[in-house]
Amino acid sequence: MKIIMLGAPGAGKGTQAKKIADAFGIPHISTGDIFRANLKEGTELGLKAKTYMDKGELVPDELTCDLVVDRISKDDAANGYVLDGFPRTIPQADALTNALAARGEAIDFAIDVDVPDENIIKRMSGRRACVGCGATYHIEFAPTKVEGICDACGKELILRDDDKPETVANRLRVYHEQTQPLIEYYTNREVLYTVDGTQDIEKVFEDIKGILGK
């Protein structure tokens, strides 16, 4: 069962990817984890990626795809995997499609966790992080007992730069330009399924399990 998770930043696709991985006994694979593992192990692909990262450049699509294919070739991915954060663009999707085709394989499900932009901005701009222990809260959905103070360590809470409305809006703009075309790409391959990401986390997961046949 080869699954790709799609959705805007803050839509909750990472949370659902972890739940799918646990429920089906397959690895949750993110490009960030792949890069870190290869850099730590000093692999040939990792060292190649490092030459770009050290210069502050994006790792080329072909190399990123090689790293992903190397990861999905591991024994723990023999029964499938959940890809989270890759592909992000049409060229990356093409590279993955071609690499899988060379192995006689293809993506089975591309699941789009659909959440309107205004919901995402509200969801992310309401997040607060503790400057002391790093605990995270939400002013509406998971508030602290005392406003602005961490329940765990008593330190102050801040709105991280990543979660500021203008930053979130910019990330959403990039997503719509670069990543949303993947929805049409996988629709044309008849593997795209959409779930309503505005629902409760467990309800979203139930919908996904229905798609995956469990």
Walk me through the domains of the chain, giving residue ranges and CATH numbers: 2-115+172-212 (3.40.50.300)
Chain-centroid distance of CA 84 in Å reads 4
Check if 171 is active-site: yes
The counts of H helices and E strands in the chain are: 9, 8
Check if 160 is active-site: yes
> What mean pLDDT is predicted for residues 167-184?
91
Q: Other C-beta atoms within 10 Å of 133: how many?
A: 12
50, 155, 171, 209: the active-site residue: 171
Distance set, CA 186 to CA 87, 189, 198 (Å): 11, 5, 22
Which pTM was predicted?
0.85
Check if 71 is active-site: no
160, 173, 189, 214: the active-site residue: 160
Report the distance separating Cα 82 and Cα 7, nearest Å. 14
Q: Tell me if 83 sits within 8 A of 68, measured CB to CB.
A: yes
Q: Is the pLDDT of residue 214 over 80?
A: no
71, 123, 127, 128: the active-site residue: 127
pLDDT digits (tens, 9 = 90+) for 104-162: 999 999 999 999 999 999 989 999 999 999 999 999 989 999 999 999 999 999 999 98
Residue 56, pLDDT score: 81
88, 122, 164, 209: the active-site residue: 88
Distance set, CA 138 to CA 17, 88, 157, 172 (Å): 22, 28, 10, 20
pLDDT digits (tens, 9 = 90+) for 198-212: 999 999 999 999 999
13, 19, 71, 128: the active-site residue: 13
